[in-house]
Structures are given as structure tokens and as C-alpha cells.
Amino acid sequence: MSSVLYDHPGPRARVRNSALTVVFGVALAGLFWWLYREFDNAGQWAPALWKPFLDADTWNNFILPGLWGTLSAAATGMVLALAFGIIFAVARLSERRWIGIPAGAIIEFCRAVPLLLMIFFLFYGLPFLIDGPVSAYWAVVIGLTLYNGSVLAEAFRSGIRSLPAGQSEAAYAIGLNKAQVMRHILVPQAARAMLPVIISQLVVLLKDTALGYIIAYPELIQLGVNVLSANYVNVMAAAIVIAAIYIVINSTLTGLAHWLDRRLMRTGQPSVTGKVATEPAGD
């Protein structure tokens, strides 16, 4: 089905697109070759710099603990951010102004403050307010929760507003109250409709754990690049290996988002593209 925003290219456009693809492909290959040559001239491909990654101690002492720190903070942050997003999305949609306005203010504030600054304040500033220390783990997790949760709140709110008004009206007609309509009808459908967007934001959350380096939280960047390269003097090699690990993890999550989008299309559920499968659910 053709889109109102994009027409399928004709013969000339296809030839032009193919030519541009070849040109940019050659340019990209040239860029990679130039990078390889410059790194080679700087001695960054020397076997001595990469040998530590063949040693089990390097993985056991640096990379795997950093990976665990990244995944544990990301997993906790994902759960809390989803809960934050649902609660504040519903609160912002409340008809009671004394609930909706403060919820909207909190969401906009958390979205506006840079995550790096938020983590820094939680670790160094919050102890002055609570008269006690804040662990690096919880500073990172709370920062991830507040920032990404506020973005997810807007995603949930958009999903709820995109649903046909008739569903709410029918629910009210059979005697359900506002809380029951939200819990049983609107929020589940909004979550399914916005699922690919939600997973994409969770990918961002996982990458944002790298900002924990500012408070020396032992995640992949801190242990796998900073500490490891300080021991083996191979910062570029360490950065390339850690980047490859991030690419694998995030590609897996991104692939999951695409798979869910295709599954929703097949089952007839609305996806973020606004399309609905033409086949009935279950076929």
C-alpha cells in the first residue's frame, strides 16, 4: 500500500537510487579503509595491544564485571522506568488538575534535565539533602528511571490518546469507572500499540548506562575501557571491543523491536507506523 508521504520510485528514480547507493557504498568503504590505514600507521593494530583480549583474566576482571554492571543497572532501570511511565502517563491524563498539572511538570522537568547532570546531582548533591551517601548503582538507576521514564510516559500518553474514543465511551456505558477503563482497556492497548517505541527507548536506556562513568560506576565503559586501558595501555583496542559488545546487545534489542512490530502487523494490532494488518487475528 502506497503512503501519502512517499510514492514508490519510478524507473528513473530506481536507477538514480541505485547509482547513489553505489556511490555512497564506495565512499563508505573508502572511509573505512582510511580509518584502517591511519590506525595502522599509528600502530593500533599491533598484536601486543590486542593480546590481552585473548586472556581469560581480562574478561573475568574487567569486561564481564563491567557487562554485569551495565546489564544489572539497565534491567532495574527498565522495570522502574516502565512503572514510572505508566503511572505518570495516567496521572497526566487525569481530569483532576491538581494531579495532571504536577505530573506534567515532573515529566517535562525530567525530560529537560540532561541525564549526565541528573546522575551527577543524585550522587554528589542528594547526600546533602538526605544526610547520607547514595551508592553509584542507585544514582545511575534513579537517573535512568527519571529520564527514560518521562519519555516513556509521553509514549504511553500518545498511545492512549490514539485509541478510538468509542472504546472509553462503551466502557463507561457498562458501568466502569475511570481507573478500571485505564487499567483494563486503554493502558494494555496503548502498551501493545507502542511496544516497538517502548523497546527502542529501552535500547537508549541501556546505552545511557555508559554515563555512569562520571561517578565511577563499574559498567562497561568504566571497567572495559578506562580501567582496562590503564593496565594495558590499549585504549583504542579496548574502546573498539566494548563498542562491538554494545553493538551486539543493542542490535539484539533493536531486532526484537522490529520482530514485535511485524508480529503486531500480522495479528492486526496497530503498530507505531499506524498500519493495521489486513488479515484477521489468528490467521
pLDDT for 43-93, tens place per residue? Answer: 888 998 899 999 999 999 999 999 999 999 999 999 999 999 989 988 998
Asked if residue 25 belongs to a domain, the reply is no
Helix axes 235-267, 195-208, angle to 10 degrees: 170
Asked if residue 9 belongs to a domain, the reply is no
Structural domain boundaries enclosing 245: 62-267
Q: What is the pTM of this model?
A: 0.78
Asked if residue 205 belongs to a domain, the reply is yes
Asked if residue 70 belongs to a domain, the reply is yes
For residue 143, give the H/E element and its range.
helix 136-162
* Concatenated DSSP letters of 35-54: HHHHHHHTTTT-HHHHGGGG
Asked if residue 80 belongs to a domain, the reply is yes
Q: Count the domains in the chain.
A: 1
Asked if residue 42 belongs to a domain, the reply is no
Asked if residue 38 belongs to a domain, the reply is no
Q: In tens digits, what is the pLDDT along the chain, a chain of 283 residues?
A: 444 445 677 788 888 888 999 999 999 999 999 989 998 898 888 998 899 999 999 999 999 999 999 999 999 999 999 999 989 988 998 888 898 999 999 999 999 999 999 999 999 999 998 888 999 999 999 999 999 999 999 988 888 887 787 777 788 788 877 778 887 788 877 777 777 788 888 889 999 999 998 898 999 999 999 899 888 888 899 999 999 999 999 888 878 777 876 776 676 554 444 443 333 433 3
Contacts of residues 264-271 at CB distance under 8 Å and 24 or more positions apart, as own/partner, are 264/192, 264/193, 264/195, 264/196, 269/192, 269/193, 270/162, 270/193, 271/193, 271/196
Asked if residue 252 belongs to a domain, the reply is yes
Specify the CATH number for the domain of residue 262: 1.10.3720.10
